[in-house]
Structure 1
Amino acid sequence: MESPIPNWPKMEQPREKLRRYGAKALSDAELLAIFLRVGIQGKSAVTLAHDLLHHFGSLQRLLASPAEEFICIHGMGLSKWAQIQAAYELVKRSLEDSLAQDSIFSSPGHVKEFLQTTIGGLPHEVFLCLYLDSRLHLIECHELFRGSIAQTAIYPREVLKEALRRNASALIVAHNHPSGNPLPSQADQELTKTLQSALQLVDIPLLDHCIVSQSGFFSFSEAGLMNIGNK
């Protein structure tokens, strides 16, 4: 039987470590334990957090988990799932706010961090559009399509319509590869070319197409592939 956290030495308790040394001093399991608050009989919140991370395979998979899967784990319920989801949503909104405040070119790392946090760990494929104003500040991030693990059907006319509706001056598109490999397929390259051609008709430049996986990131712009439409 594991001793409850309040019986641990003060300096080993996650909340005390957080107070004294800051959040970066805590492991993923210790941070998660603070949200769980209490464990179950025979297991502390930290051990329970380790079990959750092991079950889902990664922190991103855990954060993106549906309620139905989460509550099947012994000791977990909708209340704990809701607390974790609320915290996760706050992180995503904070990252999105930072893109709205600064030009995307002044903080390219924020784009990568935002996309990986938002869609990197999802088990299904989604396609996002980041609509930018004339100063290249984020107007809105919009999930335009959602598909299976294998593919998402992308309709360029919908991308174009939504960009015009928001009066966007530029656009970044992104999608995830649940398989884990962020390298673009031939279909991804063809899609980029098609979107560039469609957006050029209304003078909206496509600045980048980003592909995100749980542990990887690929940028068409960084790879020098954004002139694909002119080849």
Structure 2
Amino acid sequence: MKCREQEYKDQLLPRERLIQYGSEVLSNEELLAIVLQSGNKSTPVMQLAENMLKEVDGLYGLKTVKIEELMNLNGIGTVKAVQIKAIVELGKRLALSTQEKYGKIYSSQQIGERLIEEMKDLIQEHFMVFYLNAKNEIIRKETIFIGTLNQSIAHPREIFHLAVRYSASRLILVHNHPSGNPEPSDQDELFTERLVSCGEMMGIEILDHIIVGESGYVSFRETQRLSL
């Protein structure tokens, strides 16, 4: 005898089940029904999905079937055939996809010198983060906050939310001083210390905090500030 929770799950439409429980719990027929979106006057969408998988001999057949064959299946037609072929092709490309990389970091000097030209003339403070994998390859570079003339308000929550989203192992923090003097302020040191503590709790390493001025930069790692 089914428990109430299972009965409730069975009553939900595939789209509702996906939203509530995740795509992993759906059957092949339910996932296909979501792609098809609707059935026709004589056949509900779930039945249409089941019939199609039987006709093409399962998922492997769906991967290899020609669009003309799909269009000839009862209840499919051109639009649904095109949707199916598009989602199958997308699945193939997803299986072959890898995370995009934007170069590898070898030193703080590499980052500092690279960003002097990019940031030296900014009249507002920009706080950006380089998100790295375990091999120090750049997964993403994000400007987290653009502040006032002499103040930024970047929050650790925003920084680490993106780190989790991108599956980053390490971070390099960068911001500019519009005054042109890259020497860290007390606030810079306190903020960096706070981020290092947050990173330790989450298992995400802060490799460096680099401050860029008009003609130079200061690296927390190179100057052995804090525990970096």
TM-score of the superposed pair, with normalisation by structure 1: 0.53
Counterpart position of 1:147: 147
1:182-220 per-residue CA deviation (whole Å, 9 max, x = no partner) reads 000000000000000111111010000000011120000
Structure 2: runs of 5+ lacking an equivalent:
1-100
Shift in Å at residue 177 of structure 1?
0.2
- Pair 1:164-2:156 in alignment: no
1:61-105 per-residue CA deviation (whole Å, 9 max, x = no partner) reads xxxxxxxxxxxxxxxxxxxxxxxxxxxxxxxxxxxxxx9333x12
Give SS of 1:227's match: coil
Cα distance in 1 between the residues matched to 2:102 and 2:172: 14
Q: Number of aligned pairs?
A: 128
Calculate the aligned-residue CA RMSD, in Å: 1.6
Shift in Å at residue 108 of structure 1?
4.1
Cα distance in 2 between the residues matched to 1:108 and 1:202: 23
Asked if 2 retains the 8 angstrom alpha-carbon contact of 1:112 and 1:217, the reply is yes
Counterpart position of 1:211: 211
Report matched runs for 1:124-139 at 5 Å. 124-139=124-139
Cα distance in 1 between the residues matched to 2:120 and 2:132: 21
Report matched runs for 1:86-97 at 5 Å. none
Cα distance in 2 between the residues matched to 1:207 and 1:153: 21
Shift in Å at residue 176 of structure 1?
0.3
Report matched runs for 1:176-195 at 5 Å. 176-195=176-195
Asked if 1 retains the 8 angstrom alpha-carbon contact of 2:128 and 2:174, the reply is yes
Change (3 A) 1:146 1:222: same
Structure 1: runs of 5+ lacking an equivalent:
1-98
Change (3 A) 1:156 1:135: same
Identical-pair percentage: 37
Counterpart position of 1:114: 114
